[in-house]
Chain A
Amino acid sequence: DIQMTQSPASLSASLGETVTIECRASEDIYNGLAWYQQKPGKSPQLLIYNANSLHTGVPSRFSGSGSGTQYSLKINSLQSEDVASYFCQQYYNWTFGGGTKLELK
């Protein structure tokens, strides 16, 4: 099975800062990757699919990139409403990364 390693596990950043979260797959997943945001007490919400496509209604400050085994989620100009946990998910056996908890500094 393909394993996903997500980093960092937690992150503290200031308002307006740019934040990057990374996921590494144990083998090539050919851009078969999605990113989700989960706010406390809520369900995950899709942000990015196919590694770099923005889901409907997601602010353009979110972007995804990568290829092969290395992928990243970037949040430009961090807003207070972006405080959440973020997860990557690969398509081949629907495995999730361990999550990144993003807090405000």
Chain B
Amino acid sequence: QVKLLQSGAELVKPGASVKLSCKTSGFTFSTSYMSWLKQVPGPSIEWIGWIYAGDGGTNYNQKFKGKATLTVDKSSSTAYMDLSSLTSEDAAVYFCARLGSWYFDFWGPGTMVTVSS
């Protein structure tokens, strides 16, 4: 069955960067679109961007350009998201999800990112 396993919670200092991972199984990763989403208490959800695992092509929400960088490793069926220059505004739970057509059909459990000195 489809599984998305995300890396553990992160505590990072303001101004630092962090790299989150999402290891997948149960579907053909190399022909899939993988997305990342952000959720803060409220509890609003924002789409950050997607990456096509086949060729690494990306599409970002304008709001997250320069903040998030999406990459994949096809050999391990893993998607990654780098978040740079972290501030308190970046504290959130980050989800990876498979983009099936135009909706998110399978989600990872989420990674909590805390930004604090």
Instruction: Say which size band chain B's interface belongs to.
Output: 20 to 34
Residue contact A96 to B105, C-beta cutoff 8 Å: no
Stretch at the interface among A19-27, A37-45, A70-78: A37-45
Q: Which label, helix, strand, loop or mixed, suits the secondary structure of the B interface?
A: strand
Residue contact A43 to B109, C-beta cutoff 8 Å: yes
Residue contact B45 to A87, C-beta cutoff 8 Å: yes
A34 touches B (CB below 8 Å) = yes
Residue contact B107 to A85, C-beta cutoff 8 Å: no
Also in contact, A96 and B109, with CB within 8 A (given A44-B104, A91-B103): no
Residue contact B44 to A91, C-beta cutoff 8 Å: no
Instruction: Say which size band chain A's interface belongs to.
Output: 20 to 34
Q: Which of B36-56 contact A (CB under 8 A)?
A: 42-47
A98 touches B (CB below 8 Å) = yes
Binary per-residue interface labels of chain A (40-74) against chain B in the complex, 1 for a CB within 8 Å, 0 otherwise: 00111110010000010000000000000000000
- State the B residues within 8 Å of A (CB): 35, 42-47, 61, 95, 97, 100-110
